[in-house]
Chain A
Amino acid sequence: MTLVDHKKYLLEICEKVDQDLASPTCKKLREHLEKCPDCAAYYDSLKKTIVLYRNYDVEMKGSRVTQILARLDLDEPLQITLPPKGPGQDRNKKHPH
């Protein structure tokens, strides 16, 4: 397969990298990836790029509620507590794709 043939799939790989390859709309791409190791490697690296950035997160060092409310000239509410998270209510959970 020539580079030109591979490049035909570049756009499709990039567009569908976040989709479920098992879906009917990805059938042609899935079939191509199964028989083309180069495009499969490219697809894999693109997917890994996204996962790496998704995994790179930072945690705040302490709440800023007091400072923010003070800047707004609002009284600091005493003991703001949130209800405990129930099952399936992880606030940091990413949206499903």
Chain B
Amino acid sequence: MEEDTKLIEAAKSGDKIAFGKLVKQYEQLVYSFSFKICRDKEKADEVMQETFINAYRGLKSFSGNSKFSTWLYRIVTNNCLMMHRKKSHEPVVSLEDSDLFKGTNELQVAHWGETPHDAVLNKELKEVLDAAIEKLPLDYRIVFMMRDVEGLSTEEVGKSLKLSVPAVKSRLHRARLFLRNELNPYFAK
């Protein structure tokens, strides 16, 4: 963290090597998060590169009040939302009473079998996970990924996305139930 602060300060002063080191240090994290939102490796690569370009140009506005990674996550989400608007006709923000979430408040009880415990997921399972999350509107997907997958606090997610804490909780709640219900047919015994 202290090392990051030094690199950021040096990069702000125009130290190219310092910025290069920051890119090197965070590129995997940014790429991985970009993929989790875009669900496409090519788009993730594009978003990752754009994110560092935006970060360099806006580095002076980074105050250090949040972690550098949290600041990068915010740029990634903005880039993903912009790319989505350009390339898709699907609305980014779904209506609260969208048909998509109908039934997610029903308790569909089913006992799931064992799921893989380690990070090695097979191709079939990855396809199931991709299909489920691709159905989830982007604004819900982003909240789920930031909070549950990347482990940011509810407050950090709210601050990054300019959402109130109750709004983050509401989207997270819906996203969790939606994904669980989408995966239910695959895992239910």
From residue 168 to 183 of chain B, which have CB atoms closer than 8 A to chain A?
169, 173, 176-177, 179-180, 183
Asked if A77 meets B17 with Cβ closer than 8 Å, knowing A10-B105, A18-B148, A68-B52, the reply is yes
Query: B92-123: which have CB < 8 Å to A?
Result: 105-107, 109-112, 115-119, 121
Residues of B within 8 A of A67 (CB): 49
Complex CA gap A7/B16 in Å reads 56
Decide yes or no: A69 and B23 within 8 Å by CB, A44-B112, A45-B187, A75-B16 being known contacts.
Answer: yes
Are A45's CB and B180's CB within 8 A? yes
The one of B56, B149, B173 that contacts A53, using a Cβ cutoff of 8 Å? B149
Find chain B residues with CB under 8 A from A51 CB: 115, 117
Chain B residues, CB < 8 A from A74: 16, 19-20
Considering the complex, give the chain B residue whose CB is closest to the CB of A36.
B109
Partner of B152, one of A39, A83, A95: A95
Establish whether residues B183 and A64, one from each chain, have CB atoms under 8 Å apart when the complex forms.
no
A80 touches B20 (CB 8 A): yes
* A11-B16 Cα distance, complex, nearest whole Å: 50
B116 lies within 8 A of A55 (CB): yes
Complex CA distance for A11 and B20, rounded to whole angstroms: 45
Chain B residues in 8 Å Cβ range of A48: 112, 115, 187
B130-186: which have CB < 8 Å to A?
133, 144-145, 148-152, 169, 173, 176-177, 179-180, 183-184
A36 to B160, CA, bound (A): 38
Q: Which residues of B contact A17 (CB under 8 A)?
A: 176
Chain A residues in the interface with B (C-beta under 8 A): 3, 6-7, 10-11, 14-15, 17-18, 38-39, 41-42, 44-46, 48-60, 63-65, 67-69, 71-72, 74-77, 80, 82-83, 91-92, 94-97
Write 25 A-B pairs (CB below 8 A) sorted by A numbering: A6-B109, A7-B106, A45-B111, A45-B112, A45-B180, A46-B176, A51-B115, A54-B149, A55-B118, A56-B126, A56-B129, A58-B31, A60-B48, A64-B31, A65-B27, A68-B49, A71-B49, A72-B56, A74-B19, A77-B16, A77-B21, A80-B20, A91-B29, A94-B151, A95-B151
